[in-house]
Homo-oligomer: A and B are copies of this chain.
Amino acid sequence: MEQKITQFNNYKKIMHALSHLNGVLYFDAATSAPKGSYISRATTTEYLSGEMFSLLTSPETIDLVNYLLENNDKIDKQTHRECVLVKRELDKLLKMPKEEFVEYQVLLNESSSIWEKAKKTNDYNLFKPYLKKIIEFNIKMAAYIDPKKQPYDALLGQFEYGFSTKDYDPYFKSMQESLVPTILAINEAGQPDSSFLDLSYPIYKQRELSDRVMALLGIDREYCNISESEHPFTTNFSKYDVRITTHYHENMMASSLYSVIHEGGHAIYELNTADEYQYGPLASGTSLGLHESQSRFYENIIGRSREFMTLLLPILKELFPNEFENVNEDMLYRALNIAKPSLIRTEADELTYSMHVLIRYELEKQLIAGTLSVDDAAQAWKDMYKSYLGVNVPDDTTGILQDSHWAGGAFGYFPTYSIGSAYSSQIKNAIEKEFSVNEAIQSGNISKITKWLNENIHKHGSMYDPKEILQLSCKEDFIPQYYFDYLNNKFKALYNL
Contact = CB atoms under 8 A, between A and B. Distances in A.
Interface of A: 13-14, 16-17, 20-21, 24-25, 27-28, 31-37, 39-41, 43-44, 47-48, 202-204, 220-225, 227, 237-243, 278-279
Contact of A48 (B21, B28, B36, B47): B21
Given A25-B24, A28-B28, A47-B17, A34 B278 contact: no
Contacts of A203: 204
Task: Give 4 closest A-B pairs by Cβ, nearest first.
Answer: A37-B241, A40-B238, A204-B204, A17-B47
A221 B34 contact: yes
A154 to B, nearest CB: 34
A222 B13 contact: no
15 contacts: A24-B25, A32-B227, A32-B243, A33-B241, A34-B224, A34-B225, A34-B240, A34-B242, A36-B222, A36-B241, A37-B240, A39-B238, A40-B237, A40-B279, A204-B204
Nearest to A243: B32
A418 to B, nearest CB: 31
A40 B24 CA distance: 13
A56 B39 CA distance: 25
Nearest to A18: B47
Contacts of A278: 40
Nearest to A20: B44
B28 A44 contact: no
A13 B223 contact: no
B279 A37 contact: no
A382 B339 CA distance: 71
Contacts of A34: 221-225, 240-243
A43 B28 contact: no
A28 B26 CA distance: 11
Given A37-B223, A241-B41, A14 B279 contact: no
B241 A40 contact: yes
Q: Could you say which of A14, A40, A278 has the most chain B C-beta atoms within 10 Å of its C-beta?
A: A40
A240 B24 contact: no
Nearest to A245: B32
B21 A222 contact: no
Nearest to A45: B17
A274 to B, nearest CB: 14
Contacts of A31: 32
A278 B224 CA distance: 35
A183 to B, nearest CB: 40
Contacts of A202: 204
Contacts of A239: 40
B40 A225 contact: no
Contact of A37 (B39, B44, B237): B237
A238 B16 CA distance: 26
